[in-house]
């Protein structure tokens, strides 16, 4: 019996943000021949992410393998360092390491606000205000609501670099890595990987189950510890509220291993009960 089939048994037997398509053709991340490190929802907590990234690079060095980092989305909002977080993600990792960022609902909301502020003011109530503050924009919701959209657009253009908007557009809604489907909020098990509903991947609401034969790895839903369910693993440990950012390490033919900031330097194999 393979590691994958055992894991399945023990668990219970591209398009960018803002685009108008309703489904996504999920690309496969290839080759899956080195460690893939999947990072939960950062939410503007750059200091936590920098600590996690340093541990990832050190772990890969000890394994003598080239790492791939995949952030599960929601890198912005709520926390205080969203602008600096995107700045960091725009800087390349040391080669041959590589890094990808998935589309979370907060990337989708931020991009929608950037493109049509007046129609998307509610974003400020879901962590967008903290993001604007990180760019030096101190206007509150009532003030922005009373301003002409042209003026709001001018303020955004003066404070938010175009490269940051391009970053939001370049995020991808999901990736397949070997036997794993990586998405921010969920998937539709009834749909093929070539036609996954974007709403399921980015916003959830269709359950935490991947199409047959795959294990879903997701964020979006906060839990105190990694959330192991039949066919899925959730790793959003509420970084902005708890100070705990979780990373899941995937290696071919091995059980996933996990590490949370502040809980030691080593990745520990997830415990699955029979």
- Quote the CA–CA distance of 68 and 97 in Å, as a whole number: 6
Condensed to tens digits (0 to 9), the pLDDT of residues 191-230 reads: 999 999 999 999 998 778 999 999 999 999 999 999 999 8
- Quote the CA–CA distance of 46 and 85 in Å, as a whole number: 5
- In Å, how far from its chain's centre is CA 158? 27
Domains identified in the chain, total number: 1
Cis geometry, peptide bond prior to residue 259 (ω within 30 degrees of 0): no
- Quote the CA–CA distance of 258 and 252 in Å, as a whole number: 15
CA separation, residue 27 to residues 113, 181, 204, 231, 273 (Å): 27, 10, 19, 20, 32
Domain-embedded: residue 27: no
For 101, the domain range is: 3-11+33-263
Query: What does DSSP assign to residue 93?
Result: P
Domain-embedded: residue 44: yes
Q: Mean pLDDT in each 10-residue stretch from start to end of the chain (274 residues)?
A: 40 42 94 94 99 97 97 99 99 96 99 97 98 98 96 98 98 98 97 96 89 97 94 98 98 95 89 54
The first and second tokens of residue 241, run together, are 């509220």
Domain-embedded: residue 19: no
Given a contact cutoff of 8 angstroms between Cβ atoms, the answer to whether 273 and 78 are in contact is no
Domain-embedded: residue 24: no
Q: What's the half-sphere exposure (Cβ side, CA atoms, 13 Å) at 167?
A: 26
Query: What does DSSP assign to residue 191?
Result: S
pLDDT of 134 reads 99
Condensed to tens digits (0 to 9), the pLDDT of residues 74-86 reads: 999 999 999 999 9
Q: Which helix (H) or strand (E) holds 2?
A: none
Domain-embedded: residue 18: no
Domain-embedded: residue 209: yes
- In Å, how far from its chain's centre is CA 58? 21
Count other C-beta atoms under 10 Å from residue 262's C-beta: 11
CA separation, residue 12 to residues 20, 94, 144, 178, 199 (Å): 35, 39, 49, 19, 25
Residue 138 maps to which CATH number?
A: 3.60.21.10
Domain-embedded: residue 37: yes
Residue 81, SS3 per DSSP: coil
Residue 215, SS3 per DSSP: strand
Residue 37, SS3 per DSSP: strand
Measured over all CA atoms, what is the biggest interatomic distance in the chain, rounded to whole angstroms?
A: 63
Condensed to tens digits (0 to 9), the pLDDT of residues 241-267 reads: 999 999 999 999 899 999 999 888 899
- Quote the CA–CA distance of 264 and 253 in Å, as a whole number: 24
Given a contact cutoff of 8 angstroms between Cβ atoms, the answer to whether 227 and 234 are in contact is yes
Domain-embedded: residue 270: no
């Amino acid at each position: 019996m393979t590691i994958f089939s055992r894991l399945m048994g023990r668990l219970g037997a591209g398009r960018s943000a803002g685009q108008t398509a309703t489904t996504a053709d999920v690309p496969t991340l290839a080759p899956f021949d080195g460690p893939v490190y999947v990072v939960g929802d950062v939410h503007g907590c750059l200091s936590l992410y920098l600590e996690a990234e340093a541990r990832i690079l050190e772990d890969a060095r000890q394994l003598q393998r080239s790492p791939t980092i995949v952030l599960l989305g929601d890198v912005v909002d709520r926390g205080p360092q969203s602008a600096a977080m995107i700045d960091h993600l725009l800087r390349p990792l040391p080669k041959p390491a590589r890094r990808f960022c998935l589309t979370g609902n907060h990337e989708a909301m931020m991009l929608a606000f950037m493109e049509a502020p007046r129609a998307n003011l509610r974003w400020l109530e879901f962590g967008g205000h903290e993001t604007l503050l990180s760019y030096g924009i101190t206007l509150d919701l009532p003030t922005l609501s009373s301003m002409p959209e042209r003026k709001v657009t001018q303020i955004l253009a003066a404070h938010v670099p175009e490269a940051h908007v391009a970053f939001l557009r370049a995020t991808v809604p999901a990736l397949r890595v070997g036997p794993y489907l990586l998405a921010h909020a969920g998937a539709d098990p009834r749909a093929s990987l070539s036609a996954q509903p974007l709403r399921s991947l980015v916003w959830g609401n269709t359950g935490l189950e991947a199409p047959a034969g795959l294990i879903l790895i997701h964020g979006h839903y906060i839990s105190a510890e990694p959330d192991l369910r039949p066919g899925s693993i959730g790793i959003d440990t509420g970084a902005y509220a708890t100070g705990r950012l979780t990373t899941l390490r995937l290696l071919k033919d091995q059980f996933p291993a996990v590490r949370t900031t502040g809980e030691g330097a080593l990745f520990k194999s997830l415990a699955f009960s029979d």
